[in-house]
Structure 1
Amino acid sequence: MTTFVDRVELHAAAGNGGHGCASVHREKFKPLGGPDGGNGGRGGDVILVVDQDVTTLLDYHHSPHRKATNGQPGAGDNRSGKDGQDLVLPVPDGTVVLDKQGNVLADLVGQGTTFVAGQGGRGGLGNAALASARRKAPGFALLGVPGEERDVVLELKTVADVALVGYPSAGKSSLISVLSAAKPKIADYPFTTLVPNLGVVTAGSTVYTVADVPGLIPGASQGRGLGLEFLRHVERCSVLVHVLDTATLESDRDPVSDLDVIEAELREYGAGLENRPRIVVLNKIDVPDGQDLADLVRPDLEERGYRVFEVSAVAHKGLKELSFALAELVGEARAAKPKEEATRIVIRPKAVDDSGFTVTREDADGEPLYRVRGEKPERWVRQTDFNNDEAVGYLADRLSRLGVEEELMKAGARNGDGVAIGPEENAVVFDWEPTMMAGAEMLGRRGEDHRLEAPRPAAQRRRDREAERDEAQRAYDDFKPF
């Protein structure tokens, strides 16, 4: 059964925003006390968070569809809906988030690092929030915005200081088991190790992590065997250790040729691996003829500039010298890294001539179609209840103020031409009328109600009644028959 997964496709769906409420306050002797519809709650986000206790993406392999909760709708008496709960998904340290096209969206390294994979939808405004001096009694509310749905790919790249690389059965798993407290599965047949193993090593005052990268073979950088699945786990390591088998039973192999093959694969894979400091470990010197072969190839390797260590994972020979040499290289690599800076906020202001939307002409079945794209107009369309005339008028008013009417005219739109707001698969289409601006202003005044005006003082009401009585008396005197 699979227990380790380092690449999954995650389908994240954020929560939808709750709808706003259209309500009018009523109580005894006050039948129309004004709009009191509350706002809808915000939908929950889908958030990826680095958790040091998580080492695999297995949970998302079995359950790739994750959804946050929706916001609750608003209610009367100015009661806002409850916000949806954020869905927090723990991921291993070193997880890379990519889109379906392979573009990197986030590189999650370090405990607590977060990335919002799906943004929750906004809650719709209730009619209390839409009321103004010009629109005193809105008979509509805005709908909640649907939550963002996104398919992302999660790739785990092991975060370790040292990577052990080499052919299958070179003794990497045995070496990491004696250098650290790791307990990998060990056997003498190829591809015993099918997942990277991590171990923590203490050498003097230096503590570092070692990754046992599963065996590589010729063609690994081109995807042969499980090469590409394994090579990504080498990318983050500061030091590479070539583990060479001095007791191989294959007649066409020897430590030097093994080293050349693995080096060629690392160069082909790239990712800066060719510049990492290296150490060569001649393993299995306890096996008959192993020590002799090590003595034979060591001068050649040192001539190439490698530091060479002869070890035996089984007999525990040469391990102390190796661990301290690795600690020295890890210390140098850490010192060379730039110090972590405080989190920087990058502000990218919009261009001064950015209207926030675009208008492009498309031809559909020989008929002109003008498509409006932009965050604001598309969101406003999603918030509109098209079964309510006042809501449609409010949308027209907003689009007019944004400048959509003017841009349509500049693009050459004429009376009766089709206009689509939104992407092709989910657009609102209507026939454009050049008088929309005037209609928007008219519809924007809907919701006015004289009954909601401030009450007149008693003296003013008395004077008004007397004036009405005098007017009625004059009219009677003018029309009496005698």
Structure 2
Amino acid sequence: MTTFVDRVELHVAAGNGGHGCASVHREKFKPLGGPDGGNGGRGGDVILTVDQSVTTLLDYHHSPHRKATNGKPGEGGNRSGKDGQDLVLPVPDGTVVLDGNGEVLADLVGQGTTYVAAEGGRGGLGNAALASARRKAPGFALLGEPGRSGDIVLELKTVADVALVGYPSAGKSSLISVLSAAKPKIADYPFTTLVPNLGVVTAGATVYTIADVPGLIPGASQGRGLGLEFLRHVERCSVLVHVLDTATLESERDPLTDLDVIEEELKQYGGLDDRPRIVVLNKIDIPDGKDLADMIRPDLEERGYRVLEVSAVARTGLKELSFALAEIVAAARAAKPQEEATRIVIRPKAVDDAGFTVTQEEDGLFRVRGEKPERWVRQTDFNNDEAVGYLADRLSRLGVEEQLMKAGARAGDGVAIGPEDNAVVFDWEPTMMSGAEMLGRRGEDHRFEAPRPAAQRRKDREAERDEAEREFDDFDPF
């Protein structure tokens, strides 16, 4: 049965925003009390957070689909819907988040580090929030936005200061069991260790973690044995310890060749050339092992390695090894730059940034892409003519129609707003600031006021256009 998982594909879906409510206040002797529809609640986020009590991704291997709750719709009486509850997913320290293409989205190191894997959708505005001096009784509300969803990959890279590497049965598990309180499985057959084991070592004033990586063999960097699955667990270490078996029973092997093979695999994997190395000659409690260690030690030192002779069984040389590792770890920690306080970087938009783009595709279709137009389309109820007219006015005020005309669009041309897989397509009928005439004065109820002269209506429309962006587009209660 699988008990350790260090790589999973996770499907996350944030909650949808609740729809706004279109409602009119009514009471006795006051049939038209004005709009009182509340806003929809925001959908819940999916958040990854580091929890040091979690050591594996096993839970997500068994349950790879995770979804946050939706926001509640608004109600009459100016009652806003409840926000959806965030879904917090605990992950081990050292988890790397990647997208489907393998690009790193986040590297989660340190207790409490968080990353929003999927953002919840905004709640739609109710008609009370859409009302203004000129739009006194909107007969529509905005829809809630769908929450973001998609597939991400979680990879666990063990956070350890020291990594023990070597052939299977070289004695790595035995070493970690006597250097720390870890209790890995120990047996006299290859590939006894199937998962990385972590232990904590105290040497004087230095406390560090040590990891026992499953045994490597030739071809590990290409997938042979268990190496490809677990080489990622040595990426974060400060020092690599080559554990060489000086009493191997395999006649075709010798410690120097073993070292060359493991170094070649680490080179093929890449990214580890700058890590200091220590060579540990293990099993010197066996007479033949001690003799072989004495023979090869000068060759290793000539190559520039620091060599220590130990016996995990007889517990010989362990104190020297633990303090030697503590010295290297302390030096590596001191060499790391101090973390600076978090700074907020403000990147203002360019003066000429319209917030959207208009492009013509090969088939003649004009496509509009931009955060605002796409969000407005998602929030529009296309079964409500007044809501559609409101969308047309917003797009016109943003300058979409003007850009379409500059791009060469003519009446009847196809226009798509949004990405190819999820776009709203329509035949364009240019209005150029006269969208209000297409469906009447959207959101105005003339029962609230006496008819006005044509000149006054034109003057009011001009004033409305000047104030519209401030009144509506910049309104965000969340």
TM-score (norm 1): 0.91
The residue number in structure 1 matching 2:409 is: 413
The match for 2:444 among 448, 453, 465 is: 448
Output aligned runs, 1:225-264, within 5 Å.
225-264=225-264
SS in 1 for 2:32: coil
Tell me, which stretches of 5 or more residues in structure 1 are unaligned? 455-482
The residue number in structure 1 matching 2:427 is: 431
The residue number in structure 2 matching 1:123 is: 123
The residue number in structure 2 matching 1:48 is: 48
In 1, distance between residues paired with 2:430 and 2:373?
18
In 1, distance between residues paired with 2:347 and 2:116?
19
SS in 2 for 1:426: coil
The residue number in structure 1 matching 2:20 is: 20
The residue number in structure 1 matching 2:295 is: 296
> Cα offset for 1:138?
0.2
| Larger CA deviation: 383-392 vs 217-226 | 217-226
Report percent identity of matched pairs.
89
The residue number in structure 2 matching 1:100 is: 100
Query: Is 1:65 matched with 2:68?
Result: no
Query: Is 1:376 matched with 2:334?
Result: no
- Please say if residues 135 and 444 of structure 1, whose CA atoms lie closer than 8 Å, have aligned partners that are also in contact: no
> Structure 1 residues 436 and 392 mapped into 2: Cα distance closer, same or farther (>3 Å)?
farther
Output aligned runs, 1:302-381, within 5 Å.
302-364=301-363, 368-381=364-377
In 2, distance between residues paired with 1:323 and 1:337?
21
Query: Is 1:398 matched with 2:414?
Result: no
Q: What amino acid maps onto 1:106 in structure 2?
A: A
SS in 2 for 1:424: coil
> Structure 1 residues 440 and 287 mapped into 2: Cα distance closer, same or farther (>3 Å)?
farther
| Larger CA deviation: 116-125 vs 277-286 | 277-286
After superposition, the C-alpha distances for 1:382-408 in whole angstroms (9 at most, x for unaligned) are 100011010000000000011110111
RMSD over aligned Cα atoms: 1.3
SS in 1 for 2:389: helix
Q: What amino acid maps onto 2:232 in structure 1?
A: R
In 1, distance between residues paired with 2:412 and 2:432?
12
> Cα offset for 1:441?
5.7
> Structure 1 residues 334 and 232 mapped into 2: Cα distance closer, same or farther (>3 Å)?
same
> Cα offset for 1:91?
0.5
Q: What amino acid maps onto 2:46 in structure 1?
A: V
In 2, distance between residues paired with 1:425 and 1:387?
21
The residue number in structure 2 matching 1:460 is: none
| Larger CA deviation: 222-231 vs 306-315 | 222-231
- Please say if residues 33 and 452 of structure 1, whose CA atoms lie closer than 8 Å, have aligned partners that are also in contact: no
The residue number in structure 1 matching 2:183 is: 183
- Please say if residues 378 and 422 of structure 1, whose CA atoms lie closer than 8 Å, have aligned partners that are also in contact: yes
> Cα offset for 1:440?
3.9
SS in 1 for 2:188: coil
In 1, distance between residues paired with 2:348 and 2:222?
42
- Please say if residues 34 and 452 of structure 1, whose CA atoms lie closer than 8 Å, have aligned partners that are also in contact: no
SS in 1 for 2:158: coil
- Please say if residues 15 and 68 of structure 1, whose CA atoms lie closer than 8 Å, have aligned partners that are also in contact: yes
Q: What amino acid maps onto 2:393 in structure 1?
A: D
In 1, distance between residues paired with 2:2 and 2:171?
23
SS in 2 for 1:74: coil
In 2, distance between residues paired with 1:109 and 1:444?
57
In 1, distance between residues paired with 2:158 and 2:342?
23
SS in 2 for 1:275: coil
Q: What amino acid maps onto 1:61 in structure 2?
A: H
> Cα offset for 1:182?
0.5
Tell me, which stretches of 5 or more residues in structure 2 are unaligned? 451-478
Q: What amino acid maps onto 1:346 in structure 2?
A: V
SS in 1 for 2:444: coil
In 2, distance between residues paired with 1:101 and 1:304?
41
In 1, distance between residues paired with 2:389 and 2:430?
15
SS in 2 for 1:155: strand
User: Larger radius of gyration, structure 1 or 2?
Assistant: 1
After superposition, the C-alpha distances for 1:268-305 in whole angstroms (9 at most, x for unaligned) are 2111x111111110001112311111111111111111
The residue number in structure 2 matching 1:203 is: 203
| Larger CA deviation: 298-307 vs 28-37 | 298-307
After superposition, the C-alpha distances for 1:365-421 in whole angstroms (9 at most, x for unaligned) are xxx211111111111111000110100000000000111101111111111111111
Q: What amino acid maps onto 1:387 in structure 2?
A: N
In 2, distance between residues paired with 1:441 and 1:117?
44
- Please say if residues 72 and 82 of structure 1, whose CA atoms lie closer than 8 Å, have aligned partners that are also in contact: yes
In 1, distance between residues paired with 2:118 and 2:439?
35
- Please say if residues 377 and 421 of structure 1, whose CA atoms lie closer than 8 Å, have aligned partners that are also in contact: yes
The match for 1:388 among 384, 390, 397 is: 384
SS in 2 for 1:386: coil
In 2, distance between residues paired with 1:40 and 1:195?
47
| Larger CA deviation: 342-351 vs 417-426 | 342-351
In 1, distance between residues paired with 2:437 and 2:206?
72
Q: What amino acid maps onto 2:444 in structure 1?
A: E
In 2, distance between residues paired with 1:91 and 1:63?
14
> Cα offset for 1:160?
0.5
- Please say if residues 402 and 432 of structure 2, whose CA atoms lie closer than 8 Å, have aligned partners that are also in contact: no
> Cα offset for 1:204?
1.1
SS in 2 for 1:174: helix
In 2, distance between residues paired with 1:443 and 1:123?
26
- Please say if residues 436 and 442 of structure 2, whose CA atoms lie closer than 8 Å, have aligned partners that are also in contact: no
TM-score (norm 2): 0.92
In 2, distance between residues paired with 1:217 and 1:193?
13
In 2, distance between residues paired with 1:448 and 1:326?
77
After superposition, the C-alpha distances for 1:173-207 in whole angstroms (9 at most, x for unaligned) are 11000100101111111111111100000111111
Query: Is 1:164 matched with 2:164?
Result: yes
Q: What amino acid maps onto 2:380 in structure 1?
A: T
